[in-house]
Structure 1
Amino acid sequence: MAAFGRTFPFYAGPKPTFPMDTTLAVIIIIFLTALVTFIIILPGIRGKMRLFWLLRVVTSLFIGAVILAVNFSSEWSVGQVSTNTSYKAFSSAWISADIGLQVGLGGVNITITGTPVQQLNETINYNEEFTWRLGKNYAEEYAKALEKGLPDPVLYLAEKFTPRSPCGLHRQFRLAGHYASATLWVAFLCWLLANVMFSMPVLVYGGHMLLATGIFQLLALLFFSVGTSLTPPCPLRLGTAVLHTRHGPAFWITLITGLLCVLLGLAMVVAHRMQPHRVKAFFNQSVEEDYLLEWSPVEGGLSPRYRSMAESPEPQDIPLSEAVSSKPSCKEEHPREPDCAL
């Protein structure tokens, strides 16, 4: 520090910030692009099927976007507090700031914004991320933050999630995040299979996969809730206030989407059993693909065999003249039998 002419730890230059997480921005842009593409081709669909088709596409894209977005979101557990706290190490200067903590499935995000932003001849506006995803080392990221000389509130909160912290938050949130993330990836695969099956004449299996999508989302919530409540809460004291955390927007939107998938899956299964023709019409599939029951002898008994109406033989009209001419003549076949019955 002395080589740069500074006495206290300092943050080397302002850090460029993006209004939102770049990963979430990419996911939103991809799904919005897909939605706009479908809307462009919407006028080519006629009649009521246009509304049904739009409803299906919007619902499906919403579910897929939510599953991917919450997997990379840092707002599963959030907390914010306004307090007066120390700013730098080895300094008695205090600042007034809003401090926020966002815990996701792959790490924590810590923000500090001065009130006002300009204090102590500096711009107090920090947004730092510390991750524990696969391939990342949380301890190394925390060591680099110490070398940078980040503000005391940021280092204090980041230290609570280090592997050696007596709070045990690192193991608690890391395991819960890994299991919840893996379960959400399974839910995303089920969502893909559901879309594939809805485009084929196996709609009931698409309903089953949509039901599985919702169940796996609810399991992810269960893993996160149970995993983060195994240890007693660790008090986070920042100056004159205590920071408390609660479930964030990502948790609640996953709950809503999971319940929506479960309800839609159950409705799909029940509707396919009670009104299969209307379900096929809703998914723009031909009703002629329905199945007819045909009985055929097998091993001395009768067993059902299903075939589509397209395969059913069509009735053929036989001309009357051909029918009369095809009837065997009594004179030709039995010339010597005078008592032949007509």
Structure 2
Amino acid sequence: MAALGHTFPFYAGPKPIFPMDTTLAIIITIFLMALVTFIIILPGIRGKMRLFWLLRVVTSLFIGAVILAVNFSSEWSVGQVSTNTSYKAFSSEWISADVGLQVGLGGLNITLKGTPVQQLNETINYNEEFTWRLGENYAKEYAKALEKGLPDPVLYLAEKFTPSSPCGLHRRYRLAGHYTSAILWVAFLCWLLTNVMLSMPVLVYGSHMLLATGCFQLLALFFFSMATSFTSPCLLRLGTATLHTHCGPAFWITLATGLLCVLLGLAMAVAHRMQPNRLKAFFNQNAREDIVLQWTPEKGGLLSPRYRPMAESLKTEDIPLSEASSEVCCQGEHPKEPECRL
């Protein structure tokens, strides 16, 4: 490269850029296919239950897709700035570009796009990812980026998140992402249990699990906010501008979905207390099904649902016999009873 007049370091060219994260694309595709499948069988449901059923399916799939998608999203903390900055090391040439930083639970994504894209006889359009998930070594990925000779703005931002950086951003965001991701997986499990219980005649437990789903999402946001709310001792200066980060779309959509789950869970719990028959009708369950909660000390003292048997639910009624039938019964079976002698 030196013989051809290029300046070291030299990056052979940007990697192919997909307009959307492939993991998010797969998650959204799976949930959209599930929604289309449910819509296909929708005409087989009659009356008002068709609308209720569609509303339940869309709401449930939306909550599940959000919980799963934000766990792999890189837009929890984002920032973008337009600046004039140096392009390569050991070179005095500057470029005009838009620099973007997206921090997720498992790593960060740095974008560099020239304005215009064609500058210095090159196409300036980079999208680089650095991960710190379990099993990944952020320091090695940064070392490989140095070997590739990535542009200065990309290496500058990536260096601020290295474990050896005095800024302390790596430890802070890595711990926040680890615990936030773990709590979101618990929320996803609660969502699965919610769907199972709402398909059974235990709606009150389904409302409790939906409430737990929302609480775990809000708890995840609390952990992420507490870990990343402290002011960084390092400013991200890129040429003539400073890059500032703020909460991204993944943070706000998780907040909205968590509040939605909490409100729906509380509404279902109140409806089960005030209007249980209407709640059962909304979930297409027989309103006459009666569930008795009994205290069972032999099973650990927990409230366990038990269906009321038909023999207990139906009261036995005495059917009067006619006089002729009574006389025949007394003479044939119990001729010596006092009632037969009267």
Q: TM-score w.r.t. structure 2 length?
A: 0.89
Unaligned segments of structure 1, at least 5 residues: 295-304
1:308 is matched with 308
Q: CA deviation at 1:130?
A: 0.3
For the residue of structure 2 that corresponds to 1:173, the secondary structure is: helix
Match of 2:246 in 1: 246
Checking the alignment, whether the CA contact within 8 Å between 1:109 and 1:127 is kept in structure 2 is yes
CA distance in 2, matches of 1:293, 1:244: 55
Matched residue SS, 2:59 = helix
**Range that drifts further, 207-216 or 314-323:** 314-323
Q: Aligned-pair distance for 1:238?
A: 0.3
Equivalent residue for 1:217?
Answer: 217
Matched, 1:14 2:14: yes
**Where does residue 39 of structure 1 map in the other structure?**
39
Letter in 2 for 1:328: C
| Number of equivalent positions | 328
Q: Find the counterpart in structure 2 of residue 63 from structure 1.
A: 63
Identity, % of aligned pairs?
80
Q: Please provide the CA RMSD for this pair.
A: 2.6
The secondary structure found in structure 2 opposite 1:85 is strand
Alignment of 1:247-266 (within 5 A): 247-266=247-266
1:170 aligns with 2:170: yes
CA gap of 1:323–1:167, structure 2 versus 1, over 3 A, is farther
Query: How high is the TM-score relative to the length of structure 1?
Result: 0.89
Query: Offset at 1:325?
Result: 4.3
Instruction: Quote how far apart the aligned CAs of 1:6 are.
Output: 3.2
C-alpha distance in structure 2 between counterparts of 1:118 and 1:173, whole Å: 34
SS, match of residue 288 in structure 2? helix
Report deviation, 1:84: 0.3
Partners in 2 of 1:160 and 1:323 — Cα distance? 99
Distance 1:229 1:152 in 2: 27
CA deviation after TM superposition for structure 1 residue 233, in Å: 4.6
Contact 1:87-1:152 within 8 A present in 2 as well: yes
For the 8 Å contact 1:112–1:125, the answer to whether it is kept is: yes
- Identify if the C-alpha distance between structure 1 residues 282 and 334 changes in structure 2 by more than 3 Å, giving closer, same or farther: closer
CA shift, 1:327, in A, is 5.5
Conserved? CA contact 1:288–1:309, under 8 Å: no
Residue in 2 that maps onto 1:226:
226
Once the two structures are superposed, residues 316-335 of structure 1 have per-residue CA deviations (whole angstroms, 9 ceiling, x without a partner) of 795845753455369x9469
Distance (whole Å) between structure 2 residues aligned to residue 7 and residue 33 of structure 1: 50
Residue 274 of structure 1 and its aligned partner are, at CA, apart by 1.2
Correspondence for 2:326 among 310, 324, 327? 324
Q: 1:194 corresponds to which letter in structure 2?
A: T
- 1:288 Cα deviation from its structure 2 partner: 2.4
Amino acid at match of 1:89: A
| Separation (CA, whole Å) in 1 of partners of 2:267 and 2:54 | 19
SS at match of 1:172: helix
